[in-house]
Structure 1
């Protein structure tokens, strides 16, 4: 805690890393835009359907993944600024979806990085506090550097995003669920899985020169064009655990994660734009998981589950 105190982050803040404090910090860093999500504020609601694979039941008995169903989803750009430029490579791209309806529905949140930027709520709040804007509207570079030096794993996400090309389409991005979900299959067997979503038609990337020619909302224009041309297909995969995999720390990947066995659970086909109201009037609830998929055991998942309703209530009251 000494380092955080040295950064001007008081003990009362560090140990008050509750959902309200985290949402407040996210909003502060984004400039407190009214009526906006605390994170992934810029987005577009879409609709479609899900078709399961014949192998889905070998991983989970969840009706969300083993039965055909309707899909409500949202493509988004990371951060709490609803006016963030689509050409900002440093921010995440997001994909949230609700599969199925009623008791058979499941909400999963994805982003174009396989790790989160903090492994605990205290670390998450410290990360955000270190990057809080000063009187000039910019974070204190020395505070950021000091916090990063003490918490190097908080840079894993940024380093991953920086190592990849600029995404050229929401439909051409690989997304990860980040958390390790306990899954129970049709035979009652249990294991941890990680969700991954891959574009059926392959990744779409831009060079730096190509990115410079794009308008500030080119990702959202691209969605409309692709849907008008026939739709967007994304394959949902389950990465299978192995003994010793870290299931509590979302800042690190599973060993050799990109080369281990994965099971195709099914295909999401996005067929139409939706008014944003269905996505904005509620939230994709991290804890909404149909039987057969359990809640991840890590601290960040619990924090998300608690913080999302706080963010919803705050933007509805603004």
Structure 2
């Protein structure tokens, strides 16, 4: 899981994330609060035409899925209107013993910045821009030169009625290659079979702090939860190397497969707790499209994951 990212930049980014939420040994620096589920991935009939990746050609593949709130606070309420969104999903496809590939996505289409250096500037500006900070605040200054970051920060992030009613979007694009060597660039999208459903702010306030994880467990006790994985394909001229560049909605979207979740898993299970999800697919047939954030995010996940493992399981 080695990357070519600058170690100093990765450390600075991790330090900046710690400044935002504090350090919580045994937890992730972002998306600290989460819930695990297990199930199966079944590829769509046309998936093998897009990529030669193993899970696109097998009848089915076991998966582990983690849903999460955005913040690095392990006790953040699920109904927090500011820090819980965008929510995250991480999917691990178990291809063989110690062989896997992951999809990491969140519930907002797009990312605030293009590079690791811009992300660091953004993260450092946030704690310096409280209500008592002189105007213009560092964050306001940053937004003035990074309009996509402003759009990301101010876009509505409604709270879903259930993790099973939320859509998710992969942050970066990938290059998909099939057996014939044909390549297409695209971004994963994960859509709930039950459709999207969100709470009003007034209804969200009435929910309990752990209502999303509680509701998911109750829902799974009555039947499976299904998500459709799709790939939005880039058209000529679309920037495949910039996570902050959202492609138009009229771009072709193809079916990749279906995830069927059947049970909630114990987050304290040693095999689940130690998982370090990887934004780099590391499977033949799906490669980075060249977005610098792909390597940056992978390196942050690895460094923070090793730190989390060294701290030991949380209580």
TM-score (norm 2): 0.88
Residue 65 of structure 1 deviates from its aligned partner by: 2.5
Indicate which of 53, 57, 60 corresponds to 2:48: 57
Matched, 1:261 2:252: yes
Provide runs of 4+ in structure 1 moved above 3 Å.
136-141
Conserved 8 A contact 2:81-2:201: no
Which structure's residues are more often helix, by fraction? 1
Matched, 1:21 2:15: no
Query: 1:1-318, aligned counterparts within 5 Å?
Result: 18-67=9-58, 68-90=60-82, 91-102=85-96, 105-132=100-127, 142-160=137-155, 162=156, 165-254=158-247, 256=248, 258-276=249-267, 277=269, 278-318=271-311
Change (3 A) 1:28 1:139: farther
Gaps spanning 5+ residues in structure 1: where? Answer: 1-14
Q: Distance in 2 between matches of 1:231 and 1:290?
A: 28
Residue 129 of structure 1 deviates from its aligned partner by: 0.6
Change (3 A) 1:242 1:85: same
Q: Distance in 2 between matches of 1:260 and 1:222?
A: 34
Change (3 A) 1:203 1:27: same
Gaps spanning 5+ residues in structure 2: where? Answer: 1-5
Number of equivalences: 299
Q: Distance in 2 between matches of 1:140 and 1:115?
A: 30
Conserved 8 A contact 1:73-1:97: yes
Residue 151 of structure 1 deviates from its aligned partner by: 2.1
Conserved 8 A contact 1:236-1:264: yes
Higher deviation after alignment, 194-203 or 98-107: 98-107
